[in-house]
Chain A
Amino acid sequence: MSHISIHPEKASDKDAAIGVCPFGAIERDATGALFVGGGCRMCRMCVRRMPEVFEFVEDAEAAPAVDKNEWRGIAVVAEISPDGALHPVALELLGKARELAAARGEPVLALAIGGRTEAAVQEMLERGADEVHVYEDPELSEFRIEPYAAALSDFIREKKPSAVLVGGTPTGRSLAPRVAARFRAGLTADCTTLGMSPSGDLDQIRPAYGGNIMAHINTPRHRPQFATVRYKVFPIPPRERPHGAVVRHKPPRDGLASAISILESRPKPAVKGIEDAEAIVVCGRGLRRPEDLPMLRELADALGARLAGTRAVVEAGWLPASCQIGLSGRTVKPKLIVTCGVSGAIQFVSGMNGSGTIVAVNTDKDAPIFSVAHIGIVGDIYEVVPALVAAVKAKKEAAK
């Protein structure tokens, strides 16, 4: 069994040894001896920091790896609404899939599941899919887990793709884990960087443990490799002349039956979300009172921007949850984002660091936000923001 082995005789300072673990997983038993407890997440930080005490022991009789050569192609699962509209995250994933597939000379396989797929199929052909596989049936109109999982599983059994990329939408985050578990496969959520190693293992990078840590994750022994990616993390590739083939599938062998009955599906009034904004002003905890929000609204108005907030601000009830940027909120990619009094925890940053121009205003010059900002102002938002509003208004006035 792979495990962390401890050499207690080398641990001169047991408290220091316990302290190397970010998760408090190194514990003392009744005799005072150190052991690695169930809190271990195998980050191997201990091995890196105290190599003389902690050793990673690889399992010699690990389960044999699958034959990776049997699994080829990068698959992208499209999300298609009952009226036939394609969620654009699929196009972003097609662009990335092209890159990953090119590294190994593998095909890009798009998968369209839905009640009406025609427009989506055409769109994906124009964005570089080599093959579009179609499961179309009235039973697939509304998302229900069993028939969708059956269709995706059927496709995987038949095509054996090396990797399956799914948009990190509510539906994608329901479907991908369900099918990943069915194939006993690895799944990495909300990847922010995807690369292809020579062995065909996806190099998956994502923010981890809710803190300011990035994790590089591989799936060395299993196929397919599942990854989800949030909307607006990757760019949409340019349109091109379609070259791909359309493959229509019969209903999956597991059938399209579902125990779930749809009672009613109500379209929501189309409120423009912060995801669609071209410019965003962000309120962080540098704002002292909710009464001061109009100051930031004024800046947003002057810039033609939407006002959004960090998790702390939304949890305090100052702004609605639909305005929250970050891993537990929305991912945004505006052309301009101005963060005001935002410290820049990775939880937040990973929801906005694809933005075009990032401006940060914060009193703390060491705040992590400045490491992602393109333009930084160390200063008090209560002074800088009103001055900026005045300067912007003056320029707009002069341009008239």
Chain B
Amino acid sequence: MKTLVCIKQVPGTAQVEIDPQTGTLKRAGVPAKMNPFDLYAIEAALRIRAAAGPDSTVTVLSMGPPQCEKVVREAFAMGADSGAILTDRAFGGADVLMTSFTLSQGVGKLGPFDLIVCGKQTTDGDTAQVGPELAEWLGIPHVACVKAVDAVGADSISVTADLPDREVSQRVPYPCLITVEKGIAEPRLPSYKLFKSTAARKVEYIGLADLADSDPKHYGLNGSPTQVKRIFPPPSGAGRTMLEGDAAAQAAALADILEERNFLR
């Protein structure tokens, strides 16, 4: 059984900030790390590989600058068998549609796969939408928000999706795509031994010319229907009340306001 996991490198700390006064960036080039949700996707895939038996493999794919080889190597240290990076200047400025299209082209180059596993969302985009769009480009069914893999069969996989009001167990035939929740399985730590033993393993670099559709107009900014018109710091609230004095005075003033606004009934 062949499984692919899509992974992404994200800023290590959550913040890229603009100074509201000057409109300039407070910080740039923060250290990067693997998207935390992807660790669960890799763990789920490794357990599926174990359940599926011999000749099963886990491949990881990341789209981004060459620096994201680091997260591919981290996946190797967790136990992934092979990995590739989609990188090309033409991919820059990709929105959800173009990111998922580019990934689908990468899947075409590396695949076919029986199963594709994505983390539920990334911590820098927070959209949770690339996985379902990728499934559409590939024309395969998908199940989002998977909290448990119940059975790994020869032709299908059984999973439980976690919805706000109910849990739905369902069986999906291969090929298919799932996006997984945190908590599906505790991710193993990268192994130093594996990290060393895979240090010489080649990471495949895939550029525009390697893809079935190599028209640059179909990628990146040019192919993206959404355009960022501008970015700006969040509006700051004027007209707020600051309560002065020591803690007792501040607390008393706040209690007065809360009473006035009927919060103390």
Task: Using CB atoms and an 8 Å cutoff, list the residues of chain A in contact with chain B.
Answer: 1-3, 19-25, 27, 35-45, 48-49, 59, 62-63, 81-82, 142-146, 149, 169-171, 173-182, 184-190, 204, 207-222, 228, 258-268, 270, 273, 279, 303, 311, 321, 327-328, 335-336, 345-347, 349, 357, 359, 368, 370-380, 383-384, 387-388, 390-392, 394-396, 399
Of B15, B65, B217, B225, which one neighbours A222 at CB under 8 angstroms? Answer: B225
Assess whether B222 is in contact with A267, with CB atoms less than 8 Å apart.
Answer: no
Judge whether B241 and A375 touch: CB under 8 Å: yes
Residues of chain B contacted by A220 (CB below 8 angstroms): 227
Q: Cβ of A190 and Cβ of B93 under 8 Å apart?
A: no
Evaluate whether A392 and B225 lie within 8 angstroms (CB atoms) in the complex, with A370-B240, A374-B237 already known. Answer: no
Q: Are B240 and A374 in contact (CB under 8 A)?
A: yes
Specify which of B18, B100, B130, B227 is in contact with A219 (CB 8 Å cutoff).
Answer: B227
Chain A nearest Cβ from B181, distance in angstroms? 9
Main secondary structure of the interface of B (DSSP, over half): mixed
**Given the contacts A41-B93, A335-B263, A371-B237, A211 and B17 also touching, CB distance less than 8 Å:** yes
If the complex has contacts A36-B92, A210-B125, A259-B173, are A44 and B228 also in contact, measured as CB distance less than 8 A? yes
Cα–Cα distance between A20 and B15 once the two chains are bound (Å) = 16
Q: What 0/1 pattern do residues 115 to 150 of B give for CB contact below 8 A with A?
A: 000000101111111111101110001111100000
Query: Given the complex of chains A and B, what is the CA–CA distance between A215 and B234 in angstroms?
Result: 9
Q: Compute how far the CA of A359 lies from the CA of B256 in the bound complex, rounded to whole angstroms.
A: 13
A369: min CB distance to chain B, Å: 10
Looking at B39-47, B161-169, B195-203, the stretch in contact with chain A turns out to be B161-169
Q: Tell me if A181 and B241 are in contact (CB < 8 A).
A: no
Q: Evaluate contact between B96 and A189: CB separation under 8 angstroms.
A: yes
* 16 A-B contact pairs sorted by A residue (CB < 8 Å): A36-B89, A42-B224, A171-B163, A187-B97, A210-B124, A212-B16, A213-B18, A216-B232, A259-B141, A376-B240, A376-B241, A376-B243, A388-B254, A391-B252, A391-B255, A392-B264
A378 near B165 (CB under 8 angstroms)?
no
Q: Are B230 and A387 in contact (CB under 8 A)?
A: no
B87 within 8 A of A: yes
A391 vs B258: C-alpha distance in the bound complex, in angstroms?
11
Q: How far is the CA of A101 from the CA of B146 in the complex (A)?
A: 36
A82 to B166, CA, bound (A): 10
Expressed in whole angstroms, the minimum distance between the Cβ of B11 and any Cβ of chain A is 7
Q: How far apart are the CA atoms of A308 and B78 in the complex, in Å?
A: 33
With beta carbons under 8 angstroms apart, the residue of B88, B127, B232, B248 that contacts A38 is B88
Cα distance, A22 to B222, chains bound together (Å):
21
B76 at interface, CB cutoff 8 A: no
